[in-house]
Structure 1
Amino acid sequence: MRIATWNINSVRLRFPIVKRLLQKHKIDVLCLQETKSPDEFFPLDDFKKIGYEHVHIHGMKSYNGVAIISRLPLSSHEIHHRCKKQDCRHIAATLPNGAELHCVYIPAGGDIPDPAVNDKFKHKLDFVDELRDWWPSARSAKKKMILVGDLNIAPLENDVWSHKQLLKIVSHTPIEVEKFTAMQKSIGWVDAVRHFVPDDEKLFTWWSYRNQDWRASNRGRRLDHIWVTKPLEKTLKRAEVIMDARDWPTPSDHVPVIVDFEK
């Protein structure tokens, strides 16, 4: 089973490259973030035409939005609201193998890493704290679960192009990393990509649109993640970041992340 996650930055605008990913890489289940589409305008028919008939979506106009697109049946569709907001950032569904799949879009947090003066950053920290507490209260660490999405935090030194230069930049600040790590440890989540890629190796999934020659400068960050609970760790087969997607027509600033599982 092949699962992918991608912050697509408008599913309607970028459907052609979503289709390219699905067909070229033979994706079974794709989780999208920042779909930027109300549910009534989501391109359901376009996905069904290429064999992806099972869809769980939760979107809004112009902002946020999450989706699970699958050629495998989905059950127990759930929508979770965080921090007393209904801003379309967390959905879940159950796969045929019984694993519960969570698609999450953590807030970016704005530019100033100070919750006292930046409400967006406070929202981000609160969101992560809420998830940290929610996992062990609502779910068991023994349950088969997969968490994917744009989690908007690059936790490791080699998840950013320069650890020292980004310590005061939102997405890699010590307080974000501390809270992110606490959320990961809350029920023993396993980082499915770093399971295959050593921590001392650079690994990025996002390059700013401001970087015209992103390959040459390579000032990236790893913001997109796939985690699994311990019962699924032994089923992990392979992980890949599709860097070439950053050069596809009308690209997102994020690229897809893929993990293969034994069925």
Structure 2
Amino acid sequence: MSKLRIVTWNINSVRLRLPLLSALIEALGPDVLCLQETKCPDDLFPHAGLEALGFTHRAARGMKGYNGVAILSRIPFRIRGDDPDWCARGDCRHLGVDLDVPGGLELHDFYVPAGGDIPDREANPKFAHKLDFIAEATAWNAARGPATRAVMLGDLNIAPLESDVWSHKQLLDVVSHTPVEVEALTGWQKAGDWYDALRHFVPPPDKLYTWWSYRARDWEASNRGRRLDHIWVSRDLAGKLTDWRVHKPARSWLQASDHVPVMVELTL
């Protein structure tokens, strides 16, 4: 039996924060590292620096200044070429691969639209795009049926549970925790029969956050966090979850992202 460590992190610019990956590797030891918000066109992606860190196998889907996802791996994989172009925008928010592990493993890295500041479809096109994106992903999952030998992760930009936010009452009308978003994300999860890997280890009502705003004067003292980053596994992998980590110290790194890396370990 072999162990597989998968980490997801909204890095908020892969070129700016490339030096931080050494600390991440030392702390979490990922076999596979999935990034979001890389903000890097494919021709400028820092392949040499990532090769030096031991990630021999890499795939990136990026654009200048916005969005972008990447999968870095010590394990060979095949890029899935038939996955959808969500909302027909070509905006680099999803990358899927098939990992070459015993029995195979399908892995999807998502960066869901943030949705702007106004939680109203008519008044805010960004919020409408977020809901439309999730609706398409939900329909796609429903058409495929329950996931098997699969992991779905990334910055999903929604904190679904009351214990995923510092104040359920105060954030009910704040984008990322509104009822319509929670309903949408829950529907997506049910459509693929996905299992929430982090809540396997930290069940509600225990608080669990992966993001702390840059706006906080002292993010650690105020601790007004949200769980925006998720790792879901197919039901057949739920019993193979052996370890987890939300690496909170990363929020204090020099030039830190406002998200922290999240890890799960599976025994395959």
TM-score by length of 2: 0.96
Of 195, 199, 202, which aligns to 2:204? Answer: 199
Q: Within 1, Cα distance between the matches of 2:42 and 2:177?
A: 32
- Specify whether residues 142 and 250 from structure 1 end up closer, same or farther in structure 2 by C-alpha distance, changes over 3 A only: closer
1:142, CA displacement in angstroms? Answer: 4.9
Partner of 2:53: 50
Partner of 1:27: 30
Q: Within 2, Cα distance between the matches of 1:42 and 1:142?
A: 31
Partner of 2:87: 83
Partner of 1:121: 127
1:182 aligns with 2:187: yes
Equivalent residue runs for 1:50-199 within 5 Å: 50-78=53-81, 80-97=84-101, 98-137=104-143, 139-199=144-204
Instruction: Give me the CA root mean square deviation.
Output: 1.0
1:95, CA displacement in angstroms? Answer: 1.0
Question: Is contact 2:166–2:225 with CA below 8 Å preserved after alignment?
Answer: yes
Q: Residue type of the partner of 1:22?
A: I
Question: Is contact 1:107–1:123 with CA below 8 Å preserved after alignment?
Answer: yes
Question: Is contact 2:28–2:263 with CA below 8 Å preserved after alignment?
Answer: no
1:143, CA displacement in angstroms? Answer: 2.2
Partner of 1:249: 254
Partner of 1:262: 267
Q: Within 1, Cα distance between the matches of 2:175 and 2:131?
A: 11
1:175, CA displacement in angstroms? Answer: 0.3
Aligned length: 262
Unaligned runs of 5+ in 2: none
Question: Is contact 1:128–1:179 with CA below 8 Å preserved after alignment?
Answer: yes
Cα deviations by residue, 1:185-234 (Å, 9 ceiling, x for unpaired) = 01210000001101100000000001121110000000000001111111
Q: Residue type of the partner of 2:211?
A: W
Partner SS state of residue 112, structure 1: coil
1:19, CA displacement in angstroms? Answer: 2.4
TM-score by length of 1: 0.97
Q: Residue type of the partner of 1:92?
A: G
Q: Within 2, Cα distance between the matches of 1:217 and 1:23?
A: 28
Question: Is contact 1:189–1:228 with CA below 8 Å preserved after alignment?
Answer: yes
Cα deviations by residue, 1:48-95 (Å, 9 ceiling, x for unpaired) = 112111001100000000000001111144354101110000110011
Q: Within 2, Cα distance between the matches of 1:219 and 1:24?
A: 24
Question: Is contact 2:106–2:151 with CA below 8 Å preserved after alignment?
Answer: yes
Give % identity: 55
Partner SS state of residue 250, structure 2: helix
Q: Within 2, Cα distance between the matches of 1:257 and 1:80?
A: 26
- Specify whether residues 253 and 142 from structure 1 end up closer, same or farther in structure 2 by C-alpha distance, changes over 3 A only: closer
1:108, CA displacement in angstroms? Answer: 0.1
Partner of 2:14: 11
Q: Residue type of the partner of 2:253?
A: W
1:26, CA displacement in angstroms? Answer: 1.1
- Specify whether residues 187 and 255 from structure 1 end up closer, same or farther in structure 2 by C-alpha distance, changes over 3 A only: same
